[in-house]
Structure 1
Amino acid sequence: MTKKLLLTGRPGCGKTMLVKRVVNELALPAGGFYTEEIRERGGRVGFKLVTLDGKEAVLAHVDFKTPQRVGKYGLDLSALEIIGVEALRAAVRARKLVVIDEIGPMEIRSASFRDVVHEALDSGAPILGTITARPFPFTDAIKKRRDLALIEVRPDNREQLVSELSEQFKR
């Protein structure tokens, strides 16, 4: 059976950290991206995409004056589409472990991103990703899929999940 695991939970609960630790522990060929905070003077000012092969692009920033916005952040969906979507497509084509961090309110604004998420989920490639806990039609439909496991990350279970998730992919 193909392994498709999506982590969900409150913001700041450790989803991204958990994905990074599992990917490092597995040492499998992997591709895709993480989303990381951009912080200045102690506060969050944006988010950047970092691909597993080291490419970076700013997805959202308080200083972006774009029509696409989520909260206080202006979005640069072209950064997601050029860097993130291509990293996911390449990982699916190569049958690598596909890392998607995150399927969230910013990312789902992109039709190309939504398409590649479906391509990845419908492929035979193993998937380790994160998905927003907030309700959106696109993410709610993904959470209802029977071919994936949705795992809630909490501060009290995230340490034990490193080994449990790693074991899922080793089987």
Structure 2
Amino acid sequence: MTQPHYLTIYLSIYLSRSKLKKISCSLGFSTITKYKIQIVNWRKIPIMRILLTGYPGVGKTTICRKVSEELRGEVTGFYTEEVRVNGTRIGFDIVTLGDNEQRGILARTVSQINGPKVGQYTVHVTDFETIAIPCLKAVGRQYLVVDEIGKMESFSQKFKQEIRKLFTEFDGDIIAIIPHSRGSPLPLVQEISELSNTEIIMVTKENRDSIPTQIINRIKNYS
């Protein structure tokens, strides 16, 4: 029987909780006549899903912005920013990260639209979706920041659909903010919190200054 020139061996190596890397090796019997390694969908380990929570005003958005500034061209996503007039808060805007910053209305105290209400604020669902959904759909970088996955944002069915998809399928790290809940959490928050690779960090005045460095160090150690 003629000995084949090479043998193809397929190996599957577990790289993360959701992805596999396939290595195809062609090895000779007596000598290596052909050698090939093909890596499909390489991924560092592990994929991180970090959820920041804490009382309003404790510094969660500041943490996200500091992490985003450190990662620079490797991050995409958006954050929420207060809108104030003469020192009085009148609403919130959504602002995208990256070179081509975009801004849209999330909520206002005085509004001409008939949208859902959260306290004194009217949520501008369509305006929010105009900025947030293309941003989430176009994720092509290694890190995603979402500020936040809260009650206002959850009025958008499209937003909830994209978040579910990203938390289960996105082959990169996610850093997101969720509301601090004294009772039952929002259904979407409960759902993503129970994923096996999700970690929740409680932000306090005592630890808020150290958290950005901790997150960056963890990311760099697995890069």
Q: TM-score range by the shorter chain?
A: over 0.9
- Counterpart of 1:118 in structure 2 is 164
Select the residue among 140, 146, 149 that pairs with 2:190: 140
Q: How many residues matched?
A: 169
RMSD: 1.3
| Matching residue of 1:76 | 124
**Structure with greater contact order relative to length (CA < 8 Å, sep ≥ 6):** 1
Match of 2:200 in 1: 150
Percent identical across equivalent pairs? 33
- Structure 2 residue 63 is matched with structure 1 residue 18: yes
TM-score, normalised via structure 2 length: 0.72
User: Partner of 2:212 in structure 1?
Assistant: 162
Secondary structure of 2:107's aligned partner: strand
Q: Retained in 1: the 8 A contact 2:115–2:124?
A: no
Match of 1:85 among 129, 133, 139: 133
Residue 106 (structure 1) aligned with residue 152 (structure 2):
yes
Q: Within 5 Å, give how 1:31-110 maps onto structure 2.
A: 31-52=76-97, 53-64=100-111, 65-91=113-139, 94-110=140-156
Structure 2: which 5+ runs fail to align? 1-45
Retained in 2: the 8 A contact 1:98–1:120? Answer: no
Counterpart residue type for residue 145 of structure 1: L
Say if 2:53 and 2:178, in contact at 8 Å, map to a contact too.
yes
Q: Answer whether contact 1:28 1:97 (CA < 8 A) is retained.
A: no
**What amino acid does structure 2 have at the position aligned with 1:149?**
E
SS in 1 for 2:210: helix
Q: C-alpha distance in 2, partners of 1:67/1:90?
A: 27
Letter in structure 1 aligned against 2:91: G
- 1:50 and 1:60 map into 2 onto residues whose CA distance is 13
- Range moving further from structure 2, 5-14 or 62-71: 62-71
**Do the aligned residues in 1 keep the contact of 2:115 with 2:125 (CA within 8 Å)?**
no
TM-fit CA distance, 1:144: 2.0
Q: For 2:85 and 2:70, locate their aligned partners in 1 and report how far apart those are by CA, in whole Å.
A: 31
Runs of 4+ in 1 over 6 A off after TM superposition: none
The offset of 1:107, in angstroms, is: 0.2
SS in 2 for 1:103: coil
Confirm or deny: 8 A CA contact 1:98 1:125 kept in the other structure. yes
TM-score of the aligned structures, taking structure 1 as reference length = 0.93
Amino acid paired to 1:73: Y
